């Protein structure tokens, strides 16, 4: 029998409504948390069950289904972009939700290993948004015409989620490179904003790099930094060590054109040609 999954809002004191802004913020954050878990679990589920990884990723792309009139239960439909059989998405989604429930249960015990700091922070934000409207939040499941049962209650986990995120964020200082575009400069203290493909990052720098940063302002660069690298790979507290222009395809083409034909006159002389001619078979 097919399983259905949802994000469930439960207003306190029997209320029938959730504030619109709280609803939207909670839904957005909960989906961000699920996306983080999808990234963490997809490869593991594919290897464990022998499923093609692209199919697993597609099956774990969630869409919002139609809600019943007067209901605060938001259906989460697996395989929003699935081109394969619906059964495949159902089976993969069931395995995903099972692992999700187990992982969130481990959060409560301080033993979670797959949920990233980003995912934990997202779930904690979802809980906080729901609480702003005096509501509890949980993931739930049902089969057929059965009643919704909790897969994982998010609201009671909020303190543990924040603690897990903080623990994941703790890291060690290391040298790391980050690429992007310098979009603004600050004079005191010296620093700049680097726009990457995912976000904008604040980067501190020694005064000796001011002129270099000004020269490369608005261009794609690679910044060598001293940073705090967390357990989940996130980097923070960026201090620039060096700034270099990023290599581009145009630069590579220019370099090729510049050196093209550099040996002309050395290897195409009559003497060389006659010597090479004697070695042909």
Query: Distance (Å, rounded) from C-alpha 265 to C-alpha 262?
Result: 9
Q: Is 127 helix (H, G, I), strand (E, B) or coil?
A: helix
Q: What is the pTM of this model?
A: 0.62
Phi, psi (deg, nearest 5) at residue 78: -75, 150
For residue 169, how far is the Cα from the chain centroid? 15
- pLDDT band for position 174 (50/70/90)? confident
Q: Are residues 122 and 46 in the same domain?
A: yes
Share of the chain above pLDDT 90, in %: 42
Query: Distance (Å, rounded) from C-alpha 209 to C-alpha 11?
Result: 54
Tokens at residue 110, please?
């301080």
- Nearest residue to 201 via CA among 215, 221, 181: 181
Q: Are residues 104 and 203 in the same domain?
A: no
Q: Are residues 192 and 117 in the same domain?
A: no
Domain assignment of residue 223, yes or no:
yes
Share of the chain above pLDDT 70, in %: 84
Query: Distance (Å, rounded) from C-alpha 182 to C-alpha 236?
Result: 17
Answer whether residue 248 shows pLDDT above 60.
no
Q: Comparing 84 with 150, which gets the higher pLDDT?
A: 150
Q: Are residues 7 and 117 in the same domain?
A: yes
- DSSP annotation string for 22-74: HHHHHHHHHHHHHHHHHHHHHHHHHHHHT--HHHHHHHT--EEPPPPTT--EE
Tell me the pairing of strands 200-204 and 235-245. parallel
User: What range does the domain containing 148 cover?
Assistant: 3-169
Domain assignment of residue 273, yes or no:
no
Number of domains in the chain: 2
Q: Are residues 153 and 194 in the same domain?
A: no
- Residue recorded with tokens 């790099």: 209
Q: What mean pLDDT is reported for the chain?
A: 83
Domain assignment of residue 109, yes or no:
yes
């Amino acid at each position: 029998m097919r399983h259905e999954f949802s994000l469930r809002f439960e207003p306190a004191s029997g209320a029938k409504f959730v504030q619109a802004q709280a609803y939207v913020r909670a839904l957005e954050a909960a989906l961000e948390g699920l996306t983080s878990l999808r990234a963490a679990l997809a490869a593991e589920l594919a290897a464990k069950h022998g499923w093609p990884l692209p199919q697993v990723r597609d099956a774990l792309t969630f869409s919002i289904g139609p809600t019943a009139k007067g209901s605060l239960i938001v259906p989460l439909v697996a395989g929003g972009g699935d081109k394969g059989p619906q059964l495949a998405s159902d089976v993969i989604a069931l395995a995903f939700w099972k692992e999700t429930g187990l992982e969130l249960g481990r959060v409560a015990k301080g033993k979670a290993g797959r949920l990233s700091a980003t995912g934990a922070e997202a779930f904690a934000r979802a809980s906080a948004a729901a609480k702003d409207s005096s509501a509890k939040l949980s993931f739930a499941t049902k089969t057929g015409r059965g009643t919704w049962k909790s897969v994982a209650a998010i609201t009671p986990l909020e303190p543990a989620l924040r603690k897990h995120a903080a623990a994941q964020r703790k890291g060690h200082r290391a040298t790391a490179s980050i690429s992007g575009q310098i979009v603004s400069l600050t004079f005191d203290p010296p620093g700049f904003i680097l726009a990457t493909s995912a976000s904008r990052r604040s980067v501190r720098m020694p005064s000796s790099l001011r002129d270099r940063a000004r020269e490369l302002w608005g261009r794609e660069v690679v910044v060598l930094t001293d940073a705090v690298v967390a357990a989940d790979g996130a980097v923070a507290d960026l201090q620039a060590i060096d700034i270099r222009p990023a290599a581009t395809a145009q630069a590579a083409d220019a370099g090729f054109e510049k050196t093209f034909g550099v040996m002309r006159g050395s290897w195409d002389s009559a003497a060389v040609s006659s010597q090479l001619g004697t070695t042909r078979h």
